[in-house]
Amino acid sequence: MLIQIKKSTILCFKNYKFKCVIGKKGIKKNKIEGDKATPKGTYSLGKLYFRADRIKSIKTKLPLKIIKKNMGWCHLPNDKKYNKEIKIKNNNNTFEKLYRHDHKYDALIVINYNVSPTLFNKGSAIFIHLTRNYKPTAGCIALKLKDFLVLAKFCNKKTKIRIN
């Protein structure tokens, strides 16, 4: 299955079209860390993470992982764990916290951008996550929960997303 982002505001797959939102600075071919742009290209999908205290179950063929309070995603460009899930040990600003008070990360799918190889400062923590108000993201793609749950049902290890 191929997921496509069209006109920067529509996520399409199969016969579905969902309103979505992307990075505040649009879509960029040469993304860098912190530029608030969504990376242009075609990527596979990684794990689907979710908050089991907020969402009871998700139907998908993607690997599932429950978000715990000490989970983060490293966005420190020169760290060996850059653009990878990490266990939070302190409260510094070198990571994206996955267990949040808002509902953006109640469920998310990792977009396998900048993963093999991981290039320092080329961008990290690019996800399909949730939105309630369609405000631009810091580089991710965001959907309403009901749309995310429909999308998740059809995703598997072979699913790709094309962002152009």
Residue 108, exposed/middle/buried by CB under 10 A (0-12, 13-18, 19+)? buried
Neighbours of 12 (CB within 10 A): 16
| Average pLDDT, integer, range 134-139 | 97
Q: Indicate which CATH number applies to the domain containing 37.
A: 2.40.440.10
Given this model, what pLDDT does residue 15 score? 95
Backbone phi, psi, residue 74, to 5°: -70, 125
Q: How confident is the model at residue 90 (pLDDT cuts 50, 70, 90)?
A: confident
Checking if the pLDDT of 93 tops 90, the result is: no
Backbone phi, psi, residue 105, to 5°: -110, 25
HSE-up of residue 145 (Cα within 13 Å, Cβ side):
13
Checking if the pLDDT of 155 tops 90, the result is: yes
| CB 113, CB 41: distance < 8 Å | yes
Checking if the pLDDT of 94 tops 90, the result is: no
How many domains are there within the chain? 1
Give the global pTM: 0.96
Percent of the chain with pLDDT over 70: 99
| Average pLDDT, integer, range 16-45 | 97
**Segments forming the whole domain that contains residue 36:** 2-163
Given this model, what pLDDT does residue 17 score? 97
